[in-house]
Structure 1
Amino acid sequence: MRVMAQVAMVMNLDKCIGCHTCSVTCKQAWTNRQGTEYVWFNNVETLPGQGYPRRWEDQDKWKGGWERTRSGRLRLRAGGRLRKLGGIFANPHLPELGDYYQPWTYEYKNLTEAPAGEDLPTARPVSQLTGEPLDTIEWGPNWDDNLGGAPEHAVKDPVVEKIREEVGERIRFEFEQSFMFYLPRICEHCLNPACVSSCPSGAMYKREEDGIVLVDQDRCRGWRMCVTGCPYKKVYFNHRTGKAEKCTLCFPRVEVGMPTVCSETCVGRMRYLGVMLYDADRVAGAAAVADEHDLYPAQLECFLDPADPAVIAAARASGITDEWLDAARRSPVYDLITTYQVALPLHPEYRTMPMVWYVPPLSPVVEAVAATGSDGEDAGNLFGAIDALRIPVEYLAEILTAGDTRPVEAVLRRMAAMRAYMRRINLGEPADESVAAAVGLTGAEMEDMFRLLAVAKQEDRFVIPAAARPDADALAASHPLDGGCPVAGAEGGPSRVTLDISPTRRSS
Structure 2
Amino acid sequence: MRVLAQIAMVMNLDKCIGCHTCSVTCKQTWTNRTGVEYAWFNNVETKPGVGYPRRYEDQEHWKGGWMLDRRGRLVLRSGSRTKRLLSLFANPDLPGIEDYYEPVTYDYDTLVSAPAGQDVPVARPRSVLTGEPTQITWGANWEDSLGGTPEHGAGDPNLRGGLAEKVRFEFEQTFLFHLPRLCEHCLNPACVSACPSGAMYKREEDGIVLVDQDRCRGWRMCVTACPYKKVYVNHATGKAEKCTFCFPRIEAGQPTVCSETCVGRLRYLGLVLYDADRVGEAAATTDERDLLEAQRGLFLDPDDPGVTAAARASGIPEDWIEAARRSPVRALISRHKVALPLHPEYRTLPMVWYVPPLSPVLDAVGEAGGDADDPDHVFAAVTRLRIPLDYLANLFTAGDTDAVAGVLMKLTALRSHMRRRSLGEPDDEALLKAVGLTAEDAEALHRLLAVAKYQDRYVVPAGHKEDAAALAGMENRCPVEVSGGRPEDGGHGKVMLGIPGLRRASGGRA
User: What's the TM-score once normalised by structure 1's chain length?
Assistant: 0.90
Aligned residue number for residue 186 of structure 2: 190
1:207-246 superposed Cα distances (whole Å, 9 cap, x missing partner):
0000000000000000000000000000000010110000
| Corresponding residue number in structure 1 for 2:385 | 389
Q: Which amino acid aligns with 2:47?
A: L
Q: C-alpha distance in 2, partners of 1:362/1:471?
A: 43
Aligned to 2:142: 143
1:332 aligned onto 2:328: yes
Deviation at 1:70, TM superposition (A): 1.8
Cα distance in 2 for partners of 1:145, 1:174 equals 15
- Judged with a 3 Å threshold, the aligned counterparts in structure 2 of structure 1 residues 168 and 252 are, in CA distance, closer, same or farther, namely closer
Q: Report matched runs for 1:223-262 at 5 Å.
A: 223-262=219-258
Does residue 468 (structure 1) correspond to residue 464 (structure 2)? The answer is yes
Give the 3-state SS of the residue equivalent to 1:158 in structure 2.
Answer: coil
Q: 1:505 maps to which residue?
A: none
1:12–1:361 CA contact under 8 A, matched in 2: yes
Deviation at 1:427, TM superposition (A): 1.2
Distance change >3 Å, CA 270–CA 316, structure 1 → 2: same
Tell me how far 1:375 sits from its aligned partner: 4.8
Deviation at 1:474, TM superposition (A): 10
User: 1:155 aligns to what SS in structure 2?
Assistant: helix
2:151 maps to amino acid: E
- How far the C-alpha of 1:111 sits from its partner, in A, is 2.1
Q: Aligned AA for 1:243?
A: K
**Deviation for aligned residue 1:388:** 0.2
SS in 2 for 1:126: strand
CA distance 1:474–1:361, change in 2 (3 Å): closer
Give 1:306 deviation, angstroms.
Answer: 0.9
Displacement after TM superposition at 1:263 (Å): 0.5
Matched with 1:368 is: 364
What is the rounded CA distance, in whole Å, between the counterparts of 1:202 and 1:226 in structure 2?
10
2:155 and 2:171 map into 1 onto residues whose CA distance is: 18
How far did residue 14 of structure 1 move?
A: 0.7
Residue by residue over 1:152-176, the C-alpha shift from the partner in whole angstroms, topping out at 9 and shown as x without a partner, is 221111111x222xx4753233444
Alignment correspondent of 1:152: 151
Give the match's secondary structure for 2:254.
coil
Aligned equivalents of 1:443, 1:380: Cα separation in 2: 19
Distance 1:257 1:424 in 2: 39
Give the drift of 1:364.
Answer: 2.2
Match of 1:6, SS? strand
- Are 2:142 and 2:148, in contact at CA under 8 Å, matched by a contact in 1? no
Report the residue type matching 2:206 in the other structure.
D
1:279-309 Cα offsets, whole Å, 9 max, x none, are 0011100000111111111001101001100
Letter of the structure 1 residue corresponding to residue 10 of structure 2: V
Counterpart position of 1:479: none
State the partner residue of 2:117.
117
Distance in 1 between the 2:254 and 2:446 partners? 24
Work out whether 1:163 is the aligned partner of 2:161: yes
3-state DSSP class of the match of 2:383?
helix
Residues 121-132 of structure 1 mapped to structure 2, 5 A cutoff: 121-132=121-132
- Larger CA deviation: 414-423 vs 424-433: 424-433
Q: Give the AA of the match of 2:189.
A: P
Q: Count how many residue pairs are aligned between Structure 1 and Structure 2.
A: 472
User: Is residue 66 of structure 1 aligned with residue 66 of structure 2?
Assistant: yes
Match of 1:309 in 2: 305
2:470 and 2:154 map into 1 onto residues whose CA distance is 58
Corresponding letter in the other structure for 1:316 = R
- Of 379-388 and 188-197, more deviation after overlay is shown by 379-388
| Alignment match, 1:422 | 418
Task: Give the Cα–Cα distance (whole angstroms) in 2 for the partners of residues 453 and 378 of structure 1.
Answer: 24
Corresponding residue for residue 28 of structure 1:
28
CA distance in structure 2 between the aligned counterparts of 1:148 and 1:365, rounded to whole angstroms: 25
Q: 1:456 to 1:288 in 2, by over 3 A?
A: same
1:6 aligned to 2:2? Answer: no
Indicate if the aligned counterparts of 2:234 and 2:240 stay in contact, CA closer than 8 A.
Answer: yes
TM-score by length of 2: 0.90
Measured in 2, the distance between the counterparts of 1:468 and 1:148 equals: 47
Give CA deviations for 1:155-199 in whole Å, capped at 9, x if unaligned: 111111x222xx475323344431111110000000000000000
Determine the structure 1 residue equivalent to 2:479: none
Amino acid at match of 1:414: K
Describe how 1:72-111 pairs up with structure 2 within 5 A.
72-111=72-111
- The question of whether the paired residues in 2 share the 8 Å contact of 1:332 and 1:452 is answered with yes
Contact 1:346 1:356 in 2 (8 A): yes
1:37 aligns with 2:20: no
Provide closer, same or farther for how the CA distance between residues 472 and 299 of structure 1 changes in structure 2, counting only shifts above 3 A.
Answer: closer
* Cα distance, 1:116 vs structure 2: 2.9
Please state how far the C-alpha of 1:54 moved relative to its aligned partner: 0.1
Deviations, residues 55-103 of structure 1 (Å, cap 9, x unaligned): 0000011000011012121111111111011111100101111111100
In structure 1, stretches of 5+ residues that fail to align are 477-508
CA distance in 1, matches of 2:423, 2:217: 62
Among 430, 434, 437, the alignment partner of 2:430 is 434
Supply the AA of the counterpart residue of 1:14: D
Contact 1:48-1:149 within 8 A present in 2 as well: no
Deviation, structure 1 residue 377? 6.2
Q: Secondary structure at the match of 1:388?
A: coil
C-alpha change, 1:223 and 1:316, in structure 2 (3 Å) is same
Decide which of 453, 457, 460 is 1:457's aligned counterpart. 453
Matches within 5 A, 1:288-307: 288-307=284-303
Residues 111 and 193 of structure 1: CA distance in aligned 2, closer, same or farther (over 3 Å) = same
| Cα offset, 1:137, TM superposition | 1.0
SS of 2:442 mapped into structure 1: helix
Taking the aligned partners of 1:253 and 1:196, their CA distance within structure 2 comes to 23
Deviation at 1:382, TM superposition (A): 2.1
> Once structures 1 and 2 are overlaid, which stretch shifts more, 373-382 or 342-351?
373-382
| Secondary structure in 1 matching 2:236 | coil
Match for residue 495 of structure 1? none
| Preserved contact between residue 53 and residue 100 of structure 2 (Cα < 8 Å) | yes
- Deviation (angstroms), 1:272: 0.3
1:499 match: none
The one-letter amino acid paired with 1:163 is: G
Q: Look up the equivalent residue of 1:143 and give its one-letter code.
A: W
Distance 2:371 2:29 in 1: 47
Identity %: 67
The whole-number CA distance in structure 1 between the counterparts of 2:425 and 2:285 is: 47
SS in 2 for 1:41: coil
Q: Is contact 2:49–2:149 with CA below 8 Å preserved after alignment?
A: no
- RMSD across aligned positions (CA): 1.7
- Which residue identity is paired with 1:7? I
Query: Any conservation in 2 of the 1:126–1:133 contact (CA below 8 Å)?
Result: yes
Q: 1:260 to 1:434 in 2, by over 3 A?
A: same
